Amino acid sequence: MRSLRDRPNRPSRPIAALAVAIATPAILALATTSPAQAQQSGNVTFSKDVAPILQANCQICHRPASVGPMSLLTYQEVRRYASRARDLVSKRLMPPYHLDTGVGIQEIKNDWRLSDEEIETFVAWVDAGAPEGDPDDLPPPVEWPNKQMWQLEDLLGPPDHVIKSKPFDVPAEGGDTWWRPRVPTGLDEDKWAMAFETRPSFPAGRQVVHHANPHLLRLTEEGRYRRIQTLSEYAMGKVGEILPGDAARLLKANDMIEWDAHYYPMGYDVPGDQVELGIWFHEEGHEPEFRQDLRLYPLRGDIALRPGGTAMTQGFHRWDHPVRIDSYQPHGHVHLHAMSVQAVYPDGNVELISMVTDFDARWHHSYIYEDDVAPLLPTGTVVVLTGWYDNTAENELTPDPEIWYARGSRTTDEMSHAWIAVTHLTEEGYQRLVEEREKRLASGDSGGSGGSGGDGN
């Protein structure tokens, strides 16, 4: 089987995950002229060429009552920020999606990244003086909802079940606060889950919730509850998780949820705030072939960031059975600059699975691999996580590059881990998945392969 390094890079960009979940299907057919055609004609305008790109990728956040710092609905609004937007778009800092292009696995579900053509079109428009063009060329405006919706709702419908945290009063002033209440699941029977989404309240909660993790607790034979896994993870910018079709997570009727909500006051009171977990279940009678879990995988070592200094940490993880890596999400605070995930196969081969550079703690993403490229790792494979941290003046997010920072849980401290969704395989299941993938590659049904290297071939 071809390895990651043999696979051609084919960045595909479906509509950004947020836009897919909320916008209407008409967005897919907004443009009447392709970016390449517009550039060739030398007549790139806002109305004809740039507005469709903004509708499909930017306005979900950049509109009134959403999370973007400015609205980008009209020509006048966009023209005002054209120069700054050109800089961010050309550097792939907007839309805020940090996965590196050209290295590692590029086939990601719900990829937010703009295509090269879209970037070139936007840059050409700004360089031409940001002409408006004929307003009659504008696509119809998108009718954005004025209420909070689940971001997976348009794909999966409303969640089958919602679990809320107990209310918590967030003060206007103060420091970091953690709220860890336990609540029952509210289920009356065991169920297999296929998707999760954790969300803060809207609009106030989205500003004061640093992260919120619903941990699944299960009753042991000794009569005590023990943490099984984390069902979902919310951090700023995060969407939900959809599991592969052959894997699921089990929730039992007597399970509990222990919330781990990290609040940070933002200058206004938020009384009775509640975080919610939306769950989508498989149909009754469904029995998944494999089980998947989502866990925090730590990077060890000191994060001692001296004034103007940098640091690096690493973590090493190994399973005693074959696994499939379904998604990868680096996590850190304002000093995390980059994080990579590599596979060291039993025969010594080393492959880069994913690399995230220019990490931005204001936007967290779970990079979910397409089914035919999700890394298949044979027994004995070691996953290596490496993180790089920056406390220099070049890091515009650091509060003060002239003081020390260390590992900790506060917003001003630094963190070092990755959230990884892993499907646990049997030896027979692993071999079958490898063979099926090889057959699809041989028949030309798939343009890529996931890592299944070393002595697993």
What's the pLDDT tens digit per position in 421-452? 999 999 999 999 999 999 988 887 654 445 55
Same fold, 148-288 and 289-457: yes
- Calpha distance 71→114 (Å, rounded): 19
What pLDDT shows up at residue 22?
29
What pLDDT shows up at residue 135?
93
For the chain, list residues with pLDDT below 50. Answer: 1-33, 35, 37-41, 447-449, 455-457
The CATH code belonging to domain 148-288 is 2.60.120.230
Beta partners for 70? none
- The correct CATH number of 289-457 out of 3.40.50.300, 3.40.50.740, 3.40.1280.10, 2.60.120.230 is 2.60.120.230
Domain ranges of the chain: 4-137, 148-288, 289-457
What pLDDT shows up at residue 210?
84
- Calpha distance 220→226 (Å, rounded): 7
What confidence tens digit (pLDDT) does each residue in 53-102 have? 999 889 888 888 676 788 999 999 999 999 999 999 998 888 888 899 98
What pLDDT shows up at residue 453?
57
Q: Alpha carbon of 350 to those of 128, 344, 358, 456: distances in Å?
A: 46, 5, 23, 14
Contact 92, 113 (CB under 8 A): yes
What pLDDT shows up at residue 384?
98
Q: For the chain, how big is the Rg over CA atoms in Å?
A: 23
- The residues, any chain, with a CB within 8 Å of residue 270's CB and separated by 6 or more, are 169, 170, 201, 204, 205, 208
